[in-house]
Every structure is written in structure tokens, then in C-alpha cells.
Amino acid sequence: MSTNVTIDQWEIFQHGTRRSDTTITERIRVLATFEAETGVNPAYAQPLDIVRWYALHEEWSPGTHYTYHSYLTTWFKWLQLQDIRVDNPMVKLGTVKQPKRKPRPVADTHLIALLKTNMHHRTRVMILLATLAGLRCIEIAKFRGEDMDLPRGRMLVLGKGGDEKWVPLHPILAATAETMPVRGWWFPSNRTRPGQHVTRKSVSQSISDVFRRANLPGSAHPLRHWYGTTLLEGGADIRVVQELMRHGSVTSTQQYTGVTDIRMRAAVEKLDLHRAIA
């Protein structure tokens, strides 16, 4: 069976299991990159082929290595499931430990400076959705006027895997909604995708451009980090933050937001040396 036919079948399978378009595209891209750089059909790759491919990329971060390793693991498990392949070469490679995520929230002063920067209105709305609702880039890209429920003070977020969740609406976002379409995409594609919404990459690029013009460090995802971290620092229960950030488990929330600086500083300041001496 040719590489293209096999990968096409895998793509259909992933759509059937409701994987996101971004995940599917990335998984297929990684397989194509593997084949282009090794000259080996990924359906018939051996452990040594994979190890040598890893060795070509010393520049990979631990996170990238973990992600690509997991993509290949999923690929070979699917090949076995479809009886296309009997063995799984990833078994001989062992496991790659998932690196712990550390929070990278935008600093408060930087966020203020960012919002004072001149930008297109729709880019400002993207930033507000990330900052005041914790939306991911793909969630921002797919946002519609129908997702706003102003009378009830809530908004609908279409998350990973097609999951839908209503979350409380921040007053600033409620006011912002008055300036956006009541129906249809808030961020329609102007040229490349007529009738469709912009891509996740387009949202990320638009926000990154504003950071760059403002001469500030940061990008779209640290705005979501700011949302989660600020909720925790404000005293919100971690289960509440989990629901607001739409994480599948509280473990994800703990890894995502980390232990906040304010809480660590408060804990240290409570140390009483005089009482210990007494």
C-alpha cells in the first residue's frame, strides 16, 4: 500500500474519532517530514530509522521531542489496529517523558502596554478573548456572534474535540460584543478561505505582530496563561479554574498554571524566625 493511501486512511480515521483539524494536520506533517528526511516509508520504518531521525534534530526542545514521539506512537498503533503492520517499532524505543509545563503569563505591566498599542479592532478583540476568557487561538478563530448570550451573561466556547462549554462573560467582553457581528464569524477569512473563519495560525500571527510592534515579549498563548494564573492569584478555587479553562482534569490545570509567585512569596513571608528561636 502506498504512503499516500495509508496516510489518507489514517486521516479519515482521525476525523472519525473527532480529532481536531490542527492535530490531524500536524500529525500528517510530521510523517511527511520523516519520510522526506529519511527516505523511508513511515509505514515500514524500523526502530533504527526513527532513532537516526531523532539524532538529526538536536535542536528539538524536550516538548517537541515528546510530541513527535507521541505522534509516531499513535501512528504505529493505528497501523497495527488496521492489520497493516504486525509489530510496533516504538516499543523498542521506550517512552519519552513529558516535560513539565511552566507558566509563561504575560506580565501585568506588559499587558497594559500591549492594550495601549495601536492595532486593528478585530486584533484587539482577539487579545481580549484570550485574556478575559482564556480562549485558545483555534477557539478565537472559530468564534461566532451566536456564541454570545448577552441576556444571561455567558459565552459558548467550542473547544478541543468539538466540546462545547458555556462560561461566564466578562463585562468588557459583553461591551465588546456590541461592536461585533451578531451572527456569523467574528473573524472571517478575507481572501484565502471565502466564507470560512481565519485559521489558528492567523490569530497567533496577528497577536504576535502586536507584541512585536510594542517591543514586548509574548505571544497569544501567554495571554491564556495570564488568565489562569491571575484567577488563581485572585483566590479562585482550582476546580473553578479548571472549568473556566476547560481542562479535562485538574492535573492539567495544575501543570498549566503552576504555583503562582504571589503564593510562594506569601508562604516565605510567613516564616517566623523569632518564634523558632523562642
Plot region of 211 (φ>0 → left; ψ -120 to 50 → alpha; else → beta): alpha
Q: What is the distance between the alpha carbons of residues 138 and 187, in angstroms, rounded to a whole number?
A: 11
Is 122 a catalytic site residue? Answer: no
Name the residue among 108, 105, 142 with its Cα closest to residue 22: 142
Is 101 a catalytic site residue? Answer: no
Is 275 a catalytic site residue? Answer: no
Range list of H helices, the chain: 3-16, 21-38, 47-55, 62-81, 108-115, 121-133, 137-141, 171-177, 200-213, 220-233, 238-245, 250-257, 261-269, 273-277
Is 136 a catalytic site residue? Answer: yes
Is 224 a catalytic site residue? Answer: yes
Catalytic residue among 104, 154, 170, 221: 221
Q: Using alpha carbons only, what angle is made at residue 23 by residues 184 and 125, rounded to the nearest 5 degrees?
A: 35
Catalytic residue among 69, 136, 142, 197: 136
| CA Rg value for the chain | 22
DSSP per-residue codes, 130-161 = HHHH---HHHHHT-BGGGEETTTTEEEEE-GG
Catalytic residue among 224, 225, 227, 246: 224
Is 191 a catalytic site residue? Answer: no
Question: Where in the sequence numbering do the catalytic residues fall?
Answer: 136, 160, 221, 224, 247, 256
